[in-house]
Amino acid sequence: MAMHKVYRKVVNMVAHSRDTLTFTYLPLSSYRRCSNFLFGIVDQLNSPTAIKQELYNANRYSQQDIHELNDQELVKIMAVTHSTSWTSRSFKPLTLRKWFQINVEDECCRRLHNMDKQLWLNLVHISSSPHVPIRSRFTKALAKRTERELDSIDDLSTMTKLFQLFAERGSKFQFLNKLEQRLARNIKDINLQDIIPLYHGVAKNKTKHKPLLSALIDHACRNLNHLDDISIRNLVLMLTKCRVFNMELIFDIAAISILKLSNWSPYTVGVIAWAFAKHLIYNRELFEAVGQHFMNNHQQYGQYDVAQVLYSFAKVNFKPSNSKEFFSAIENLLNRSYDNYNPKFLLNIAWSMAILQRYHRPLFAKVFDPTFLQKCQSNSGLSRVDKVQLCQIDLAVKLEYGDGSSEFSLPLPLRNQIIKTLANLQRITSTIEIEVQQAMERIFGGKQYFGSEISLECGYSLDMAFVLDDRNRALLWRDFDSIRLNEDIFAVLDTKR
């Protein structure tokens, strides 16, 4: 078959029938012709399953075949092999694709020093995505070329991509400070969409890029009304990770979020709520808007988004004004998809529900199921925070249902293991202790238990953190030591007593 006919046949298969591409049996010359439009096809198709299923057949071509590709073809192939579709674990076989990806990357690495400048910039754009894994060898090769070319780069968009690429992979590159200073000086001329890579890069290194961080905060204060939801989400993540408490900017973000939140994605809404709750900044209007957004769009919420919103509400002890409808939507979502939930997310949801004193029996029955707990341990193990959360859930459920409910009890071996682990800790980090104290305050505060009123005084600083004084802590110990509930939590606090 003539070359142009092979080329046209493949194009027609993709453009019209979207059938499977049969690269496996094409000669290399035909495959090289096909590579010219691969990158465009992946972007154009709404569901490029047909291409994804056949692209890995290119793995059958030997390393020698890859050497024969010219620079332009090689960069186009790398754009495909380093796309999120290609690297997705759901697209198999992963091993074959990884082999081909590494060989393409190695060939780019070998040619990078003498590659055309525009092709090098294309590689920078391909590699700057935080979701694409780039090996350190390739990063170092890009860094050497960048150091050589940096003074000749005038395009601010390219500079932001370069900063994101290298800042997210460490601050050991010597040219980063020079690049940071240039970006900080020209921050007002950078396109709003190109600011997002800077948020990513600064957040990754936290306090290592102070001049650029200050410039980004000033820029955000001046342009907050013009930022879209993705920009605001990344701005909030940067402020949170860098521990920036610019209260004027934070309150402005809250005001804009309340107005625009109804049109934002569930992921953005969850991140905004989480960031405010993480610093215990309580804004009732904002959290009411988050609750309303969830009730209106709960079918679009993924398990991560549900866990984020519930955790945020539990952290500041907030229940929406129409809480019955809110929790009903949560329970309906959970009832339909328990088995599909990530165990850690489900544990976080159960902890949040316990703190908010909303006891959904099927949820807690699932969490205390030995099979579920075993799955939690086998996946990535139970961290110290997970164990403390289990203890808090255990205590809250016992207070609600009583000691005799075997349905909501940790299995004895796991319970003993948790008690032993927590009791034998030489030092308890202040974060864990504060979280335990806050959770106990939320569970016990203002409630009548066992004939004794527990009222804990709260001291508010800028971050509104709860403070327990010695008298209140002694009261807590006196009331609950006598009934011997949840010895593991008391064992934790006993190390500081």
Q: Which residue has the tokens 């900080």?
A: 184
* Residue, of 100 and 154, whose pLDDT is higher: 154
pLDDT band of residue 115 (cuts 50, 70, 90) is confident
CA-to-CA distance for 160 and 125, rounded, in angstroms?
10
| Least confident span in 279-283, 289-293, 482-486 | 482-486
Lowest mean per-residue pLDDT among 228-232, 301-305, 455-459, 486-490: 455-459
- HEC string of 276-296 equals HHHCCCCCHHHHHHHHHHHHH
Contact 348/307 with Cβ under 8 angstroms? yes
Q: 10 Å Cβ neighbour count for 63?
A: 12
Query: Mean pLDDT lowest for which of 23-32, 127-136, 203-212?
Result: 23-32
pLDDT at 398: 67
Is residue 391 within 8 Å of 488, Cβ to Cβ?
Answer: yes
Q: Is the pLDDT of residue 358 over 70?
A: yes
The C-alpha atoms of residue 91 and residue 70 are separated, in whole angstroms, by: 28
What are the distances in angstroms from CA 202 to CA 168, 224, 363? Answer: 8, 18, 39
pLDDT tens column, 400-418: 665 555 555 666 666 565 5
Measuring CA to CA, how many Å separate 180 from each of 55, 121, 231, 471?
A: 38, 18, 20, 51
Closest among 67, 83, 69 to 36, alpha carbons compared: 69
Cα angle vertex 54, ends 8, 129, to 5°?
A: 105
Which amino acid, 247? Answer: M
Residue 293 pLDDT > 90? yes
- Residue 376 CB coordination number (10 Å): 20
Spatial contact of 269 and 290, defined as CB atoms under 8 Å apart = yes
**What's the CA dihedral at 107, 113, 117, 118 to 10 degrees?**
10
Q: Look at residue 444 and tell me whether its pLDDT is greater than 60.
A: no
Q: How distant is the alpha carbon of residue 8 from its chain centre? A: 42
- Identify the residue whose tokens are 């403070």: 467
> Rounded to the nearest 5°, which phi and psi values hold at 445?
-60, 130
* Residue 252 pLDDT > 90: no
Phi, psi (deg, nearest 5) at residue 131? -90, -5
Structural tokens at position 292: 């309303």
Q: What is the rounded distance in angstroms from the CA atom of residue 447 to the CA atom of residue 422?
A: 27
- Return the top range by mean pLDDT from 132-146, 155-169, 283-297: 283-297
Report the C-alpha gap between 250 and 282 in whole angstroms.
Answer: 11
* pLDDT for the residue 163: 84
Q: Which residue has the tokens 């934070």?
A: 250
- Tokens in use for 218? 């000033």
pLDDT confidence of residue 95:
52
Of the candidates 238, 262, 239, 353, the one whose C-alpha atom is nearest the C-alpha of residue 306 is: 353
What is the DSSP code string of 198-228? Answer: HHHHHHHHGGGGHHHHHHHHHHHHHHGGG--
Task: Please give the pLDDT value at position 91.
Answer: 44
Which of 63-77, 125-139, 156-170, 372-386 is predicted least confidently? 372-386
Among 49-58, 215-224, 338-347, where is mean pLDDT lowest?
Answer: 49-58
Q: What's residue 294's pLDDT?
A: 92
From CA 419, how far away is CA 218, in angstroms rounded? 49
Region class of 446: left (phi > 0), else alpha (psi between -120 and 50), else beta: left
CA distance 82 to 446: 55
pTM of the model: 0.64
- 342 against 488, higher pLDDT: 342
Residues 194-239 pLDDT 10s: 888 888 778 776 656 678 888 888 888 888 888 888 888 888 888 8
Alpha-carbon distance values, 116 to 36, 65, 175 (Å): 17, 21, 21
**pLDDT value of position 11:** 42
Cβ–Cβ under 8 Å, residues 315 and 278: yes
Query: Position of tokens 């993480």?
Result: 278
Residue 100's CB is within 10 A of a number of other CB atoms, namely 23
Beta bridge partners of 448: 453
Range of lowest pLDDT (351-355, 401-405, 425-429, 451-455) = 451-455
How far apart, in Å, are the Cα atoms of 380 and each of 374, 375, 387, 444? Answer: 11, 9, 13, 32
Query: Does 369 have pLDDT greater than 60?
Result: yes
Q: In the predicted model, what is the mean pLDDT of residues 167-195?
A: 81
Q: What single-letter DSSP state applies at residue 6? A: H
Q: What is the percent of the chain with per-residue pLDDT over 90, rounded to a whole number?
A: 4
pLDDT at 299 > cutoff 90:
no
